[in-house]
Structure 1
Amino acid sequence: MTDALMRKVSWRLLPFLMLCYFVAYLDRVNVGFAALTMNRDLGLSAEAYGFGAGIFFLGYFLFEVPSNVILERVGARTWIARIMISWAILSASTAFVVGERSFVLVRFLLGLAEAGFFPGIILYLTYWYPSERRAGIVGTFMMAVPISAAVGSPLSAWIMAAADGAHGLAGWQWLYLLEAAPSLLLGLAVPFVLTDRPAMASWLTPAERDELAREIERDRQATRRPALGLRQALVHPQVLGLALVYLGLSAGLYGVGLWLPQIVKGFGLSTLETGFVTAIPYLVAAAGMVAWTRMSDRRGERIWHVAFPAFAGALALAVSGQTGSPVPAMALLSLAMLGVFCALPTFWTLPTALLSGSAAAGGIALINAVGGLGGFIGPYLVGWIKDATGRFDLALAAIAALMIAAGLLTLVLGRTMRDG
């Protein structure tokens, strides 16, 4: 397949998909900034906040597999539009919670609404890109996450400071309302921008459609493993192992990400200063993750390109809590987030090489669902340890242990997948 055709496909799909993921992640984690004043207004303890922030992923877990199976059957345009519109409405609704119960309920429903978005996009990309290009493509797509956090951190802090008290609403309420609006607009645009399959792409010439279809089919034949049905994929040992790897990586991503504004605020900074300083680890991650995934594509190696950054990120995270100064602490937290963001996109080349068809739809969703529980375990674990001990360093060490376990399991799975 020519590079020119791949560039044409990428320029059509990736900017829009990245923008959608940008606002998705912003709506998912802006709770971390809202917590700077919301927790006080609602009377939330650290443990209650951690539980509410993380319960998003329980809703996500319950509806993930059905959502992705529906996407595979009805098409990406219809289902991704539904996901984005419903999560925008629920994200905006968070502005009107009045206590712990309503906060937990809305976060749970938000997880139900967003379930299927990320694994649906991962599945969707397999329709358009052969396996040898996927690490770089997924890395480029996932770069939306650190960019979203880097841009969203100072933006969220500014909204909270500038809009506080306007029309009788607190700054954290305006944060939810204003940052939900782009998700709604993009959800309405999805049916007009995305194309379900290459054969339907009117923006490609007939010769380009044929070339792309042949290449995707050739790639599937070349990488074909023993066919798995949907039910087999959901109980396959390697699929379950990959889900546990993703759980450890997700615990690192959200256990740090949803608490990072409060960790940084603890350095004695203002809300606006906290926004700019919180952006630093994500800028570092954005700069490194694409280069890392492209190196994985060039070398054709996946396992160590997942395991090594998981180990390095865990070490930096564990040490970050032991420093007595904000500057080295932020440097180490930046290295920790770099490790997480380098491991994640390369990780997603493993299930897409193992699964295809309906098995891919269900298996990828299961991996993301079970792994996404790390997004509940991580924030809740940090809050529980913080309440019990008054210390963030022990909480960060616990998250680091989960990341090390993920790296070790990756090496074990790498051997079994090669043997298979």
Structure 2
Amino acid sequence: MTTIASPALDSAIAKARTRLLPFLILMYLLAFIDRANVGFAKNVLQADTGLSDAAFAFGAGIFFIGYAVFEVPSNLLMYRFGARVWMSRIMVTWGIVSACTALVHDASSFYILRTLLGIAEAGFFPGIILFLSNWFPSKTRSQAMGMFYFGFPLAMLLGSPVSGILLDTGNPFGMHPWQWLFVVEGLAASVVGVVAYFYLTDRPAKAKWLDDAQREALDGALRQEDEHKLSHGPASVIGALRDSRVLFCGLIYFAVQMSVYGVVFYLPTRIAGLTGGHVGTKVGLLTAIPWIVAIVGTFLVTRAADRYGHHRTWAAAMLALAAIGIGASALTSSVTLAIAAFCVAGIGFVAVQPLFWTLPTGYLGGAAAAGGIALINSIGNLGGFVAPNLKGIAEHLAGSSQAGMLSLSAVGLIGAVLLLTFRMTPESTASLSHRPVPLGERSGH
């Protein structure tokens, strides 16, 4: 279906994009920094606490168990209480737990805090996806999601050197540098969580910063789309959780997240190993390069997909590109070539994600969207638990450090094939994912 364009609707979307997306990007940036900073602290954390490689891999991945279990309940609570209250709660609690990671002293405490971090953050990402679907009509949703996803490479672009600098500090307040890293980055998330309570608006109908015509136009367009979704997709939470398309999307997203976290957790130590140094400022600056490239690549790819259509095919191509980059990074001993390979991988696994999310948000509406999006994300994020463990198992069985990254590359290629074989039957999804968007319908290009 298409939404009838109007000056009031276009101006409302532009104003929502300007007001909401920068703050949502900041929230995602902090979320990813707090999730991935354990990769920067890996070597010094292990040295100070005696964690083995196997214990670190298990602890890094166990975050996703708590995250997955509480994902659906958290998103349903957000649907009940609204984004303003629930997103604030999520950020404040995860920031506190992340800061408490400075108290880790053995494997058990590491496991407990990583599990609690997953529980605290559960619902954040699907909540944002649901929030965006409550603000941006289908004709601009992929653009909005693409901009939101800039938070991921920005987190690595800014977080990499910041984490490196924090690790290069002395012993502030008597803490080890890795403890200081967790405290500073965790408390930053809590502060932004408090601001979110006063800044976010749940839906266009409640936005005092829109004028009456803008509120009515945007709210009306979104209500029209919701009615269409409910007539073509599951109408209830139970229906969404049992929908075969939702489950298949979860399987695809699992492969995507395997690619993402296979790189995020090990990129810093991989570059440090090739440069013969420790994970500090130099490595932080080098690992920022792939994320700069990923931002530019995602910007170009998502707009090309909007222009020419076939988002599913574009998504499959990007996931295959990520797999190729991951595999190539394992087969070189050159720092320059390794960074180039990670640049290719970065474009692929960042760009695939906003393209992927245009599929389920194209036919899930209401409470079904809250439950379905959360289930897809929870299944997918189990890939974050499996990735470091699969990498370790593959390296042990093959007796080669290359086997781990090559196994994650294979998973990415399987995910690309699954995307190509995936079919959406509802008219709403087909129209969103497979047709070019006429120039007259595109706002903000």
Q: The TM-score by the shorter chain falls in which range?
A: over 0.9
Specify the alignment match of 2:159 in structure 1: 152
1:294 aligns with 2:340: no
CA-to-partner distance for each residue in 1:15-68, whole Å, 9 max, x for gaps? Answer: 111111111111111111111211111112222111101111101001000000
CA-to-partner distance for each residue in 1:156-213, whole Å, 9 max, x for gaps? Answer: 0111111x32232110000000111221111111121111111111111111100111
Write the distance in 1 (CA, Å) between the matches of 2:180 and 2:319: 36
Aligned with 1:229 (options 231, 236, 239)? 236
Write the distance in 1 (CA, Å) between the matches of 2:184 and 2:402: 34
Specify the alignment match of 1:169 in structure 2: 175
Specify the SS of the correspondent of 1:414. coil
Specify the alignment match of 2:213 in structure 1: 207
Write the distance in 2 (CA, Å) between the matches of 1:254 and 1:176: 19
Quick check: 2:233–2:426 contact (8 Å CA) kept in 1? no
Deviation at 1:380, TM superposition (A): 2.1
Write the distance in 2 (CA, Å) between the matches of 1:181 and 1:387: 38
Quick check: 2:234–2:240 contact (8 Å CA) kept in 1? no
Please show how residues 408-419 of structure 1 align to structure 2 within 5 Å: 408-414=417-423
Aligned with 1:106 (options 94, 110, 113)? 113
Deviation at 1:226, TM superposition (A): 3.9
Deviation at 1:402, TM superposition (A): 1.0
Write the distance in 1 (CA, Å) between the matches of 2:302 and 2:244: 26
1:120 aligns with 2:90: no
Deviation at 1:386, TM superposition (A): 4.1
Specify the SS of the correspondent of 1:202. coil
Cα RMSD after superposing both structures: 1.7
Write the distance in 1 (CA, Å) between the matches of 2:75 and 2:227: 23
Aligned with 1:274 (options 258, 266, 283)? 283
Question: Which moved further from structure 2: 73-82 or 1-10?
Answer: 1-10
Residue identity in the other structure for 1:25: F
Specify the SS of the correspondent of 1:228. coil
Residue identity in the other structure for 2:320: F
Cα separation, partners in 2 of 1:269 and 1:414, compared to 1, 3 Å: farther
Write the distance in 1 (CA, Å) between the matches of 2:424 and 2:90: 37
1:90 aligns with 2:97: yes
1:354 aligns with 2:363: yes
Residue identity in the other structure for 2:161: P
Question: Which moved further from structure 2: 407-416 or 311-320?
Answer: 407-416
1:331 aligns with 2:337: no
1:375 aligns with 2:381: no
Specify the alignment match of 2:65 in structure 1: 58
Provide structure 2 residue ranges, at least 5 long, that are not aligned to the other structure.
Answer: 431-445
Write the distance in 2 (CA, Å) between the matches of 1:150 and 1:382: 24
Write the distance in 1 (CA, Å) between the matches of 2:207 and 2:383: 37
Deviation at 1:227, TM superposition (A): 3.8
Please show how residues 8-47 of structure 1 align to structure 2 within 5 Å: 8-47=15-54
Write the distance in 1 (CA, Å) between the matches of 2:291 and 2:393: 25
1:239 aligns with 2:246: yes
Specify the alignment match of 1:4 in structure 2: 11
Specify the alignment match of 1:321 in structure 2: 330
Residue identity in the other structure for 1:316: G
Write the distance in 2 (CA, Å) between the matches of 1:5 and 1:362: 28
Cα separation, partners in 2 of 1:10 and 1:187, compared to 1, 3 Å: same
Specify the SS of the correspondent of 1:247. helix
Cα separation, partners in 2 of 1:389 and 1:171, compared to 1, 3 Å: farther
Quick check: 1:320–1:328 contact (8 Å CA) kept in 2? yes
Aligned with 1:219 (options 209, 225, 235)? 225
Specify the alignment match of 1:254 in structure 2: 261
Identity %, equivalent residues: 40
Write the distance in 2 (CA, Å) between the matches of 1:388 and 1:261: 24
Deviation at 1:371, TM superposition (A): 0.3
Write the distance in 1 (CA, Å) between the matches of 2:300 and 2:141: 13
Specify the alignment match of 1:195 in structure 2: 201
Specify the alignment match of 2:433 in structure 1: none
Specify the SS of the correspondent of 2:422. helix
Q: What is the TM-score of this pair, normalised by structure 2?
A: 0.91
Quick check: 2:226–2:366 contact (8 Å CA) kept in 1? no
Deviation at 1:316, TM superposition (A): 2.1
Write the distance in 2 (CA, Å) between the matches of 1:175 and 1:117: 22
Write the distance in 1 (CA, Å) between the matches of 2:164 and 2:143: 32
Deviation at 1:383, TM superposition (A): 3.2
Deviation at 1:218, TM superposition (A): 2.9
Deviation at 1:319, TM superposition (A): 2.2
Write the distance in 2 (CA, Å) between the matches of 1:116 and 1:361: 10
Deviation at 1:251, TM superposition (A): 0.7
Quick check: 1:54–1:377 contact (8 Å CA) kept in 2? yes
Provide structure 1 residue ranges, at least 5 long, that are not aligned to the other structure.
Answer: none
Corresponding pairs, count? 419
Write the distance in 1 (CA, Å) between the matches of 2:396 and 2:174: 32
Question: Which moved further from structure 2: 266-275 or 359-368?
Answer: 266-275
Specify the alignment match of 2:82 in structure 1: 75
Q: What is the TM-score of this pair, normalised by structure 1?
A: 0.96
Write the distance in 2 (CA, Å) between the matches of 1:415 and 1:18: 29
Specify the SS of the correspondent of 1:52. helix
Cα separation, partners in 2 of 1:335 and 1:113, compared to 1, 3 Å: same
